[in-house]
């Protein structure tokens, strides 16, 4: 990416929209986190992701799966084999980067808003699936847990975001046909 790329107005506008949206959304999110910290509460997103992951792990057959939340995060799993779902595990920062790209690329349009909402749901779906399966793997034991936590699930979520970005032009075309 050379400096000549920034002389292209379209690309320059994209970068400005992408980064400014990311900064604004991050500031709003950080302010929300600060507010919940002042209230001595856990943020709602981490709580909901943990709650759904716990429900999934229970549905997948983890017996005596416990769920307890504190100010810094939630603990899910069988006693002695729990995992800690902290704020950095809730996947929202990834969703914000995804949303910023959609707004940067497509501008402030209704189709962008729809794609942002669908994308956030997809990212959170994969995240809940990831944490639920991690609870199951930790219950089963062995090295598979560490392999999955370190490589498989993170790569899966990042690839899903890149896939949604690649799909974006096709979704835009579908919206244009509808209109």
Partner 1 sequence: MSKYILIAILNFTTVCFVSAQQKKNDPVFDNWFAQQPQPIMPQTNTPPPPPGVPLDGGLIALIAAGGAMGYKKYKDRNVE
Q: Which residues bind partner 1 (CB under 8 A)?
A: 1, 5, 8, 10-11, 14-15, 18, 22, 73, 75, 77, 80-86, 88-91, 93-94, 97, 100-101, 104-105, 127, 130-131, 134, 149, 154, 157-158, 161-162, 165-166, 169
In terms of Cβ atoms closer than 10 Å to its own Cβ (0-12, 13-18, 19+), residue 44 is exposed
Structural element, H or E, at residue 74: strand 73-78
Can you read off the two tokens belonging to residue 30? 């950080």
Q: How far is the CB of 131 from partner 1 (least distance, A)?
A: 6
Nearer Cβ to partner 1, position 36 or 95? 95
Q: Are 145 and 136 in contact (CB under 8 A)?
A: no
Q: How far is the CB of 171 from partner 1 (least distance, A)?
A: 14
Q: Are 44 and 74 in contact (CB under 8 A)?
A: no
CA dist 76 and 17 (Å) reads 38
Nearer Cβ to partner 1, position 41 or 72? 72
Nearer Cβ to partner 1, position 29 or 58? 29
Q: How far is the CB of 117 from partner 1 (least distance, A)?
A: 18
């Amino acid at each position: 990416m050379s400096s000549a790329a920034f002389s292209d107005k379209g690309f320059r506008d994209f970068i400005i929209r992408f980064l400014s949206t990311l900064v604004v959304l991050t500031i709003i999110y950080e302010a929300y986190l600060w507010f919940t910290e002042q209230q001595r509460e856990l943020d709602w997103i981490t709580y909901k992701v943990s709650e759904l992951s716990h429900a999934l792990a229970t549905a997948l057959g983890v017996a005596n799966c416990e769920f307890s939340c504190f100010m810094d995060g939630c603990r899910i799993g069988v006693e002695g084999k729990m995992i800690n779902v902290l704020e950095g595990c809730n996947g929202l920062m990834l969703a914000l980067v995804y949303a910023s790209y959609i707004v940067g690329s497509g501008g402030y349009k209704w189709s962008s808003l729809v794609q942002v909402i669908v994308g956030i749901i997809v990212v959170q779906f994969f995240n809940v699936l990831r944490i639920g399966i991690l609870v199951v793997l930790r219950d089963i034991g062995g090295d598979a847990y560490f392999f999955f936590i370190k490589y498989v699930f993170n790569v899966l979520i990042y690839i899903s975001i890149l896939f949604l970005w690649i799909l974006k032009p096709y979704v835009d075309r579908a919206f244009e046909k509808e209109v």
